[in-house]
Amino acid sequence: MRVLFCILSLFVALNLFGKEINVTYPRCPFNLQLIIMKHKGLLEKEFAKDGIKVKFHDIMNGPKQIEAAITGKVDICGSINTTSLIIAAGQNKKLNIIGAVCNPTDTLALMTNDPSIKSVKDLKGKTVACDKGATLHQLLLEILAKNNMTIKDINYVPMVLPEVYDNIFTGKINAGLLTTVETLKAKKRGARILATAKGLMRPKLVVAVSKPFAQKHPNWVGRYVKVQGEAMEFIKKHKCEALQLAAKDLGISYQDAEWLYENTNFTNTLNRDDLHSLKDDIDFLYQQKLIPKKVSILSQGAAVDIFFEDFVRDQISICALNFK
């Protein structure tokens, strides 16, 4: 019996040796739970007992996170926008949402440093930039639609967030979409807000994994969700320390971190408002021809179906986004 036990122990040790969980670590928007999970070593503590290492990857762009997850380069997208997930689903790239992060409605903005631009309508024929295939892309389209304009009315240039920020001040673009830290920095340098997401759309940041990873490691997925819950509890009990860690990580002042905290709705689950807005997002993205078919939620044979499990007090902890 002792020999059998030793053999089994050796098998378990060899099976776990060298295993690691790869998690994306986007610094924008304000992913406070993720910051705490990394800098307090919460994930490492959870998985160390099984000899499983945790490795973070600095990938901010939504489509790039999805590609990394689909190809197996990362296992968990620590914070990714649902716009990118919907567009990816339209390309038959499936990811499962295992939790939520935040609704950064008040920290996303269309900004300009061009004195000749007084309103959104002044952008006709002007150069506007933002990250393509993500929430800021959708927000740009929403802002234009509200002002009876389309993407054809402007010179749209796809550009990653840091470049958008820089080019607003170099004059290479007339306006750009910014979020969280860049929004704050741009305001301090004199840039003006032309429009925000408030009243137009409900941005949703979530945690997502590939379907094969979820099927192969359901226990790891559950433990990740548990650890994110621990991070939320830490933030509630030690707000000052959490914001100090965030300020240092992002290279901003404590006051700026506090403003971002107060203007970012943190959550670990999607609620009914999120689900309703998700349907609105799908409809809008179809109208804008960013997904190939008209889609609906929880309907038989829809191009994009969203399946919900584990409802608790109007909220969900698991949400799979699939393309048929």
pLDDT in tens, 3-16: 444 444 444 443 44
ω before 104 within 30° of 0 (cis)?
no
Of the given ranges (28-42, 114-128, 309-323), which has the lowest mean pLDDT? 309-323
Give 68's Cβ-side CA count (13 Å radius). 22
Q: What are 17-21's contacts with CB under 8 Å, separation 24+? A: 17/51, 19/51, 19/52, 19/53, 20/52, 20/53, 20/54, 20/55, 21/47, 21/52, 21/53, 21/54, 21/55, 21/75, 21/76, 21/220, 21/224
Same domain, 119 and 189: yes
The residues facing 145 across adjacent strands are none
**Model confidence pLDDT, tens digit, residues 118-174:** 999 999 999 999 999 999 999 999 999 999 999 999 999 999 999 999 999 999 999
Q: Which helix (H) or strand (E) holds 167?
A: helix 161-170
Q: Report residue 267 as tokens.
A: 């959550």
Quote the domain boundaries for residue 220.
16-103+204-323
- Check whether residue 216 and residue 305 sit in a common domain: yes
Do residues 114 and 87 share a domain?
Answer: no
φ and ψ at residue 301, rounded to 5 degrees = 75, 15
Task: Tell me if 220 sits within 8 A of 226, measured CB to CB.
Answer: no
How far apart (Å, rounded) are the C-alpha atoms in residues 208 and 105? 20
Residue 6 maps to a domain: no
Regarding whether 96 and 111 lie in a shared domain, the answer is no
User: Is residue 4 included in any domain, yes or no?
Assistant: no
- Whether 190 and 242 map to the same domain: the answer is no
